[in-house]
Chains A and B, each alone.
Chain A
Amino acid sequence: MAGSSGPEFDHILKLLLIGDSGVGKSSLLLRFTSDTFDDLSPTIGVDFKLKLMTLSGRRLKLTIWDTAGQERFRTLTSSYYRGAQGVILVYDVTRRDTFTDLSEVWLKEVELYSTNPDCIKMLVGNKVDKDAERVVSKQEGIAFARQYGCLFLECSAKTRANVQLCFEELVQKIVDTPSLLADTKGFKKNLLRPEEPYNPQAAPGAGNCTC
């Protein structure tokens, strides 16, 4: 089990990068994990990177899965939604089709394959450095995020603008969501939580979880 590597971290989190091919998912990941920008080969199937970070006193091990956007790989990548606490939906601000595909393709995949009902979604508009070619405005991004309940940021893997912040915000949100953090500690401790007794006398709606 992954937990055998000892107490060098408090939680393991699984994040997933999705979006059309060429929007800069692999570049974002490379920027975040090794702070470089390179022209990478297009991702084949599924790739993976690891990052250790400390956030408000918690030592976190992030396992970040990078997927290929091509249709041929989609059935393969769909399995990797399993157990992800955070999904990063990336589009290219200079290509509208990558933005519209998010709602038409990628969100549906999340719906279909995510096994974690409380999983946090983050919308990321990449390549803001190419300001002259921008076709998707920030307002549109905000509206999308509001409609589908996502976090939202615009960034550039090339200039590193907002890249660190993007991952940090997502991780912070996950850490703040108890149901997501519960099963990140290796073996399930949540069983020890006290149970809520059945109380039909309670007012309607009470006892439902907040999310």
Chain B
Amino acid sequence: METMERIEKMERVPSASGDRFLGSPSASSTSGAVSDGEPEDLQGFDDYTIASSWERFIASVETICREWQAAGPEGLLEKGAISVDGSRNLHRIHQEVSFGKKLYVIVLFFQLGAGDEIEDEWPAGLHHLQLWFGVTDFLVAAPVTLSGVILDAPEATTLLSTVAVALSSCGSHWPAFVPVHDRTRKAYKGVQGTSSSYSITYEADRIGSWVPVRFMHLEGLYELFVSKVAFTAPNTAAVPSLRVEFTMRLTYRAPMIGYDYQSKGGPSSVAEPKPDYDGESPNEPMWDEDLPWASWHSVDDPVKGFELIATWKKMFVNDSHEMSEYENISTFHADEWALVPTFSVDKEPDQPEEGFGVRLEGLANAFSISANAQFVEDFANVVKPEMDLLLETFTVPPPSVLERVLKDLFYAAVIPTGEGFTYEPRGHSIKGAPRDSLFGRFAMHSLFFGTCNIRAISDLWLEFVREIRFCWDECQPLPRVSPEDSPDLRTCLLHQKLQMLAVCIKLKSEERSEKAKHAPLHDSPRVGKASKEATEASRADQSDFQQKHGEVRTSNSDVRHPLDTGTKVHDLYLDGADGPYTDLKSPQDEMESLFHPGSESPNPASKKKGSGPAVENAIVENGYRSAHEEGSSSEDDEKWQSWSEEDEGEADVKEERRGSAGPLENMMLLHSYEPLHAPITQMLPLMTEDMLMEREQAIASLSRSQSEKQARLRLQTDILASDMAAFKAANPRAALEDFVRWHSPRDWLEYDDENGDAEISGSVHTDDSGEIWPPRGRLSQRMSQPGNLWAQIWDQIGPQPACEQKPLFDFQREGEKVMHYLDTVRPQQLLGQMLCTAFVNCLEILKRTRIGDLPRLRSGISGLYSSANIVLEPISTMTKADVPSKEYVEIWNKALHNLCNLFRDVEKDVFVAASLYQKLKLAPLSLVGLFNSYLDDGKSLARVAVGGSSNGGDEREQIAELFPPAETGVDLGTRSRMGNYLNGHEPDVREVKLKCYEEDLRRTLGSRNERRVGGKGMACHRMYISGTANDLQVALTVVSRD
């Protein structure tokens, strides 16, 4: 029983100093003493049964240890070892053993992979026993009870002895520990055999309340250590000077982020309780109120605070005075700084998840269900019994919620221009709607509408369509959609439809107000200036529009100059709206009334490349035919006919100028030397993508026979024919050459030389500037070819101002078509577009979030974009004709599910990054380091070194800002404070490790203690102390030889 004796000796080491080494009143009882309990008579060899029960206990522990030893770390994993949370690769495996009636558990903790952190004095992620005693792999034996702690010293001794005996007989050097006393004391005893003649004893204990002042100071800790290793009383004056190696780690906790120092600072507020990490005061601003998602929801701040850990590596002190100096050392000069974030605790599984990700998943589910019905009403009204069951589980939010959503969508005053109303599918080709547009916002609202289920969404949609129908019927401008834009083919079809509708509503209301205006003024052909001005105000935004798009082509040679100012176009517009000219003013007079003299500036530099609908004044003229039946393609034939017929009917009014947008400077008709007037032309037809596809298909399919080719030509020539008719009306004496000079200037070739052909007839003028008239020139080769299409149309078309023409774009019909689309859209098509719109907009929100320069997250986000593109692009471009098969839908659902999960992962990281960025803006290096560590090491081990060699720049100053200067309200006296201040803050934890080598000890103590002889300088005694004013944890490691 050598081992037993050894343990007894070890046991005596601490008690040699009189009591529990901290001088606690509850001194441990004499070691080895046997009082009661099961393993009573340890030395009672004559009692065969008891002896054998203990021996059996040893044997079974031994078996376990041998098994573990033999298995090796990898084998242990196979045996079911699990990793220890928050550690770096520490794993544990346990087995229970019974000893008599008692049940014990033996746990082996082992580090997987080599201990590569030996270099690091204060590695992160250590088990507390590793930290305290400097061990790597170790055993813990404990009784299986609720507390897991042995209250009774003899029992502890027995257990420890047992394990030690077992380990020694299998030649293992694993240190073994048993917990003693009650749990809060965190007390342990331990022992370890070594290959040489040493053995090591371990002991740890804690004072959890009032800590003697001397132990609050480094000086006192030094003295404690020396007294332990040199067997002196810690408080005797004669503490021998002993060379001690010493390292220190200080932990400062930053006050909670978001805590308003300004308003809460000051001496008077000392008594105020500091807000605890989880408490949310309603007065405090949300951390994310400036972040892009704030208008939709607020998420918990994932980073609740920071710990700053400052460490000093190896230092040597020779006496307690030297030691005390280290309390004044500047924290800024610590060897290492590590910033460790405090993350908020993970949500309970029953709590609703935060973020867009989970909501998008809901929308994705609604999308998969949507394939089951033909109409949205089916989900709202529940008609099919099998669907009934499914839908019953879905709840619909109360009407008040619906009302709030509709209010935001339709009645919030927003001007639909700017960033939120333009859609730029950059880096993906998913079609969606701009985030603030009517449909874009609808899709976002649907995410937060109740639980985002198909039933709630259907209800919302039906109300949404009802509101839109109201706008259309009542001529109310469609909110959140600009009536100035033509449908953007890069957006989803629904948004295009609404863009189309917005334009139609605008045209409709313009027509209405024209009608209203004309009713009382019926017999007055022209509107007086005053009434013009009266309507001006009400049209402020329209004139705005025309400023952008109302392009009137003025041309002197081959360049057309759009009018620069809105006013001019506006005047023009009103004049044009008065219908056919009845008073025969001279063209010069017309010009005066149309253009402010001198304001015309045909400056080529100001040439605008307008891309919106061109001159579209004509469309609002009163001569509009309301009862026509135009077909998008099939009836073009008819249109063609009607023009030709009218040609003949109106031959007699040829001389009358109608539908002019004004004369063009320096452009004269070739034959009559009259000013060339630009005609008011029709607004070009707007097309949404589905219409365009139809048209493309029509054009593409009409290419086989000659008659088909003719039909196709007619499909293409409607605009040209309309322009020609308008041109003829505005310039009754014009020739095709004049039209070509205006419409396709490059097909008019002028000669400089005298040898040009003089085919062009007409009287020759010489105007004031001495210019030769008519200019010598001719149509281009291709334009003058026999059978030229332009000439054909020119010959067939009679003059007809745009206002009298059959409209190229029929807003009434197109508006109704949009409403029909909204009423009958297939649920799957609707949900598909909602999903894509919402997904892209949520992604944009992540992308817009300020996270600083974090390349890995950036590439994570762009990876999410490409994944989204793969899954969503086909959904977003699904047409009415695409009815995907069941299998296909299944693949979709799976892909969508994965995509949403991916989104959630990225989103969580964005939350963390945004929070870190907010707090560490000024320390970009630390920010990147910390975020990368969060990705690599996980929440529990995330940390970053600040300053020092491992970091390029020194950001300690910036990090220290997290600790605003502490209040100095109550002076407790320097003695009762710990020292080591950072901006006036005491460390929240101060840990020191003290080491003393056997050589040094011998030099100091001489041969006073023969038992304490060490080996070759390797053996050392050590003590770990972690302390504050009310918490002191001490762990002592002592080496000894038998």
- By a beta-carbon cutoff of 8 Å, the part of chain A in contact with chain B is 1-2, 20-22, 39-42, 44-50, 63, 69-76, 78-82, 105, 108-109, 112-113, 115-117, 183, 187-188, 190-193, 195-202, 204-209
* Contact A191–B891 (Cβ < 8 Å): yes
Interchain CB contact (< 8 A) of B611 among A21, A40, A74, A205: A74
Pairs across A and B, CB under 8 Å, 23 listed? A1-B881, A21-B747, A22-B746, A22-B780, A41-B789, A45-B716, A48-B700, A50-B703, A71-B553, A72-B553, A72-B719, A72-B723, A78-B611, A109-B611, A188-B873, A191-B871, A191-B874, A195-B867, A199-B860, A200-B860, A201-B856, A201-B935, A208-B859
Complex interface: chain A residues within 8 A of B684 (CB): 75-76
The 0/1 profile, CB within 8 Å of A marked 1, for residues 588-614 of chain B is 000000000000000000000101111
* Contact B873–A190 (Cβ < 8 Å): yes
B172: Cβ under 8 A from any A Cβ: no
* Contact B863–A117 (Cβ < 8 Å): no
The 0/1 profile, CB within 8 Å of A marked 1, for residues 407-436 of chain B is 000000000000000000111110000000
B567: Cβ under 8 A from any A Cβ: no
* Contact B553–A40 (Cβ < 8 Å): no
* Contact B747–A196 (Cβ < 8 Å): no
Interchain CB contact (< 8 A) of B747 among A42, A44, A204: A42
Near A by CB (< 8 A), chain B positions 856-893 give: 856-860, 862-864, 866-867, 870-871, 873-874, 877, 881-882, 888, 891-892
Complex interface: chain B residues within 8 A of A46 (CB): 699, 716
Query: Which 10 pairs across A and B sit closest by C-beta, in order of nearness?
Result: A204-B855, A188-B874, A41-B789, A45-B716, A22-B746, A207-B863, A200-B860, A39-B782, A200-B935, A82-B489
* Contact B898–A195 (Cβ < 8 Å): yes
Complex interface: chain A residues within 8 A of B747 (CB): 21-22, 42
B864's nearest neighbour on chain A, judged by CB, is A198
How many B residues face the partner with a CB closer than 8 A?
75
* Contact B720–A190 (Cβ < 8 Å): no
Task: Identify which of A105, A116, A196 gathers the most chain B CB atoms within 10 Å of its CB.
Answer: A196
- Beyond A75-B612, A82-B692, A207-B859, is A190–B866 a contact (Cβ under 8 Å)? no
Near A by CB (< 8 A), chain B positions 828-875 give: 855-860, 862-864, 866-867, 870-871, 873-874
B689: Cβ under 8 A from any A Cβ: yes
Q: How far is the CB of A22 from chain B (nearest CB, A)?
A: 5
A191's nearest neighbour on chain B, judged by CB, is B874
B685's nearest neighbour on chain A, judged by CB, is A76
B783: Cβ under 8 A from any A Cβ: yes
Interchain CB contact (< 8 A) of A115 among B490, B716, B743, B858: B490
Q: What is the bound-complex CA distance between A20 and B745, given in angstroms?
A: 11
- Beyond A22-B746, A41-B789, A44-B716, is A198–B905 a contact (Cβ under 8 Å)? yes
Complex interface: chain A residues within 8 A of B696 (CB): 48, 80
Complex interface: chain A residues within 8 A of B860 (CB): 198-200
Task: Identify which of A2, A21, A50, A200 gathers the most chain B CB atoms within 10 Å of its CB.
Answer: A200
* Contact A79–B489 (Cβ < 8 Å): yes
Interchain CB contact (< 8 A) of A117 among B425, B614, B687, B864: B425
* Contact A79–B790 (Cβ < 8 Å): no
* Contact A201–B895 (Cβ < 8 Å): no
Task: Identify which of A69, A115, A183 gathers the most chain B CB atoms within 10 Å of its CB.
Answer: A115
* Contact A198–B719 (Cβ < 8 Å): no
Interchain CB contact (< 8 A) of B746 among A20, A74, A112, A195: A20
* Contact B856–A44 (Cβ < 8 Å): no
Q: How far is the CB of B602 from chain A (nearest CB, A)?
A: 16
Q: What is the bound-complex CA distance between A208 and B428, given in angstroms?
A: 12
Q: What is the bound-complex CA distance between A134 and B43, given in angstroms?
A: 116
Q: What is the bound-complex CA distance between A44 and B716, given in angstroms?
A: 6
* Contact B881–A42 (Cβ < 8 Å): no
Q: How far is the CB of A1 from chain B (nearest CB, A)?
A: 6
Near A by CB (< 8 A), chain B positions 885-944 give: 888, 891-892, 895, 898-899, 902, 905-906, 909, 935-936
B486: Cβ under 8 A from any A Cβ: yes
Complex interface: chain B residues within 8 A of A115 (CB): 425, 429, 489-490
Q: What is the bound-complex CA distance between A84 and B862, given in angstroms?
A: 24
Complex interface: chain A residues within 8 A of B614 (CB): 72, 75
* Contact B744–A70 (Cβ < 8 Å): yes
- Beyond A50-B703, A195-B898, A200-B857, is A76–B719 a contact (Cβ under 8 Å)? yes
Near A by CB (< 8 A), chain B positions 350-405 give: none
Q: What is the bound-complex CA distance between A197 and B903, given in angstroms?
A: 11
Complex interface: chain A residues within 8 A of B871 (CB): 191, 195
Apart from A22-B746, A44-B719, A201-B935, what 16 extra A-B contacts exist at CB < 8 Å? Answer: A71-B560, A72-B614, A72-B723, A72-B743, A75-B486, A75-B613, A76-B684, A80-B696, A113-B489, A190-B873, A193-B870, A195-B870, A195-B902, A198-B863, A200-B857, A204-B855
Q: What is the bound-complex CA distance between A206 and B860, given in angstroms?
A: 9
* Contact B609–A191 (Cβ < 8 Å): no
Q: What is the bound-complex CA distance between A41 and B486, given in angstroms?
A: 29
Q: What is the bound-complex CA distance between A146 and B690, given in angstroms?
A: 36
Interchain CB contact (< 8 A) of B859 among A73, A112, A187, A204: A204
- Beyond A191-B874, A200-B860, is A105–B609 a contact (Cβ under 8 Å)? yes
